[in-house]
Chains A and B, each alone.
Chain A
Amino acid sequence: MALLSPPPLRSLGKQLSALGRDHPPGAEGLNRRGSLEPKDPRAPKRATLVALLLAGACLITLDQTPALAPVRTIAGDVFGPAESAVSSVARPFTDIPGWFDSRDKLRGDIADLKAQNADLRRQLRITDFGRTRLEEYDGLTRSAATLGYSLVPARVVAYGSAQSFSHTVTIDAGSASGISPDMTVVTGDGLVGRVLRVSRTTATVLLIVDPTSVVGGRVGGSMQVGFVHGSGEVSRGGTLDLELVDQSVAPVKGETVVTWGEGQDAPYVSGVPIGKVTGVFASVRDSSRTVRVQPYVDFGALDVVGVVVPNGTKGDRAVIGPDGKLG
């Protein structure tokens, strides 16, 4: 009948007592129920528990040094292709959540699409004039989008879960495609993050919404500079906080924040749009001012990204040149 007592509480209690036991040895033996049943040979042994805990501590200590970098690279080499394969097999099924969109969202989508439709129809009526103009715009936007840098296209194949409290993704291009750490990762919408480490076929990207990520940012209107970091919110959407160097200026809601920096040695290339200002909060206590920034990139739906590489990079895949052509 002991079975029917609530096990979670009990297991937690055991857990806590087990944790406590590790330090002052042997206050209470493991075979607490020894009189009730024969000792199970496969019950967890305390020696193994301690040994493995120490091994874990050892790993943590080792990881404070660069000693584990080769291990991570090997893991990337082995598991990266597997992640790419699983991701490409799963891609057709990953649209399924879209089936469960709420009616409100679908209504909103319909309204958006109607508006777009009307817009397109209007454009169609002025098609001749429009076409030439479009070509110009297209070229402009494309070069604006690539900012005069070369891009290596890549797909996101694995996401770090929120349980790990860090916002990182794996992309399916690595050192074989000419990618190296600290390179900037963008999409057509704006800045995604920077490359942390690479293996041969994959790279790990730190997203700008991660609380440890810091990007130099410049407010478009006033040219004020500051630092953008992830606010560490759990949700995928994520928001950013901008801390201005000059605390006396207040950006206006809706202003664009772009990256600054020369991009040669520092991680981020300049001029990539990061997001738009959605609000300004002043803290009376330390008389500082936090600017809330909504990123342009939808981090919940990352798929195709581009890695900014030096012009003329050669790799195992096509590079999009600064002129927007594949090279």
Chain B
Amino acid sequence: MNSIRGAVAALLVIVALLLQLSVFSYFSWDGVVPDLVLLVVVAAALVRGGQFGMVLGFCAGVLLDVVPPADHTAGRWAIALLLAGYVAGRVRPEVGSHQGRPPALTVMATVAGCSFVGTSVFALSGLLLHDGSTGTGSMLEVVGISLVWDVLLTPLVLPWMMALLRRLEPERLRA
């Protein structure tokens, strides 16, 4: 069961990654695409806890770092998504004790927070590493747009992803 859960999460990440790289770019807004991989990580962290969210976030980030056309220093998305998973995991215990399902507004707010944290950590790490030079203005613009994208996509994507992950949860562990 445990391995099935891991495999499903990995599959979700890979599908999200391919959609994000090959399909969503056609619907981009100023080049910014919805961060589907981040949404998968947040969903997993909300359902299965921060520990799992962190590990999944790290693995998904490494994929984003090495799968072409990535050209930035590897490890930057890994750290960004790891922290996003951590943040989402910190929200979970509270929402978990509340009749098992986090309220929609909390999920939206979590996605917004995680999107902000993930994208900004990535952007700031670029500044620290001198990896690609972008002005702070356009950086804020990208962070803002991607936050809007992620929140817009949340009601379409997160409910069924969380339902899928929750169905694979053992009954006694359902919070």
Chain A residues proximal to chain B, CB less than 8 Å: 2-3, 6-8, 11-12, 14-15, 18-19, 33, 37, 40, 42-45, 48-49, 52-53, 55-60, 62-64, 68, 71-72, 75-76, 79-80, 82-83, 86-87, 90, 93-94, 96-97, 157-170, 196-197, 199, 202-206, 210-212, 232-236, 300
CB of B164 within 8 Å of the partner chain: no
**B22–A83 touching, CB < 8 Å:** yes
CA distance A71 to B119 in the complex (A): 24
Please give, as numbers and ranges, the residues of chain A lying within 8 Å of B93 by CB-CB distance: 33, 37, 40, 43
Nearest 3 A-B pairs (CB), nearest first? Answer: A42-B49, A44-B50, A59-B75
B73 touches A60 (CB 8 A): yes
A72 with B66, Cβ < 8 A, contacts A44-B50, A56-B75 known: yes
Q: In chain B between 81 and 121, which residues have their CB closer than 8 angstroms to a CB of chain A? A: 82-83, 85-98, 103, 106, 109-110, 112-114, 116-117, 119
Partner of B67, one of A62, A75, A161, A165: A75
Q: Of the candidates A62, A94, A202, A211, which one forms a contact with B134 in the assembled complex, judged by CB atoms under 8 Å apart?
A: A211
**A159 — nearest CB in chain B belongs to which residue?**
B25
Q: How far is the CB of B7 from chain A (nearest CB, A)?
A: 16
Q: Measured between C-beta atoms, what is the minimum distance from A228 to chain B in Å? A: 16
Question: Bound state CA distance, A37 and B146, in angstroms?
Answer: 35
Whether B158 sits at the interface, judged by CB under 8 Å, is no
Which residue in chain A gives the minimum CB-CB distance to B118? A163
A52 touches B54 (CB 8 A): yes
B148 interface residue per 8 A CB criterion? no
**CA separation between A8 and B91, bound complex, in Å?**
9
- Minimum CB distance partner of A199 in chain B: B68
- Residues of chain A within 8 A (CB-CB) of B129 are 60
Bound complex: CA A35 to CA B114 (Å) = 26
Given contacts A2-B94, A72-B70, A162-B142, list 17 more A-B pairs with CB under 8 A.
A8-B112, A37-B93, A43-B93, A52-B58, A56-B75, A79-B17, A82-B14, A83-B21, A83-B22, A86-B23, A96-B26, A158-B22, A162-B28, A163-B142, A165-B122, A170-B21, A212-B132
Contact between B32 and A86, CB atoms less than 8 A apart: no
Residues of B within 8 A of A55 (CB): 58, 78
B133 touches A162 (CB 8 A): no
The verdict on B31 contacting chain A, using a C-beta distance below 8 Å, is yes
Q: Is B25 touching A158 in the complex (CB atoms < 8 A)?
A: yes
| A44 adjacent to B49 (CB under 8 Å) | yes
Asked if A53 and B82 sit within 8 Å, CB to CB, the answer is yes
Q: Which of A56, A167, A196 contacts B78 (CB 8 A)?
A: A56
A165 to B146, CA, bound (A): 12
Q: Chain B nearest CB: distance from A39 CB in Å?
A: 9
A44→B30 CA distance, assembly (Å): 35
Question: Which residues of the other chain, B, contact A197 by a CB distance below 8 angstroms?
Answer: 68
Q: Which residues of B contact A57 (CB under 8 A)?
A: 75, 79
Given contacts A49-B86, A60-B75, A232-B133, contact A164 B50 (CB under 8 A): no
With A18-B86, A205-B69, A234-B141 in contact, is A94–B50 under 8 Å at CB? no
Known A49-B54, A236-B30; judge A59-B23 contact (CB<8 A).
no
- Which of B51, B70, B75 is A164 in contact with, Cβ under 8 Å? B70
Contact residues in A for B106 (Cβ distance below 8 Å): 3, 7
User: In the complex the two chains form, is B33's CB within 8 Å of A163's CB?
Assistant: yes
Residues of B within 8 Å of A196, CB to CB, are 71
* Given A3-B95, A161-B28, A204-B68: A12 in contact with B113 (beta carbons within 8 A): yes
Chain A residue numbers with a CB within 8 Å of B110 are: 7-8, 11
CB–CB B135/A232 < 8 A:
yes
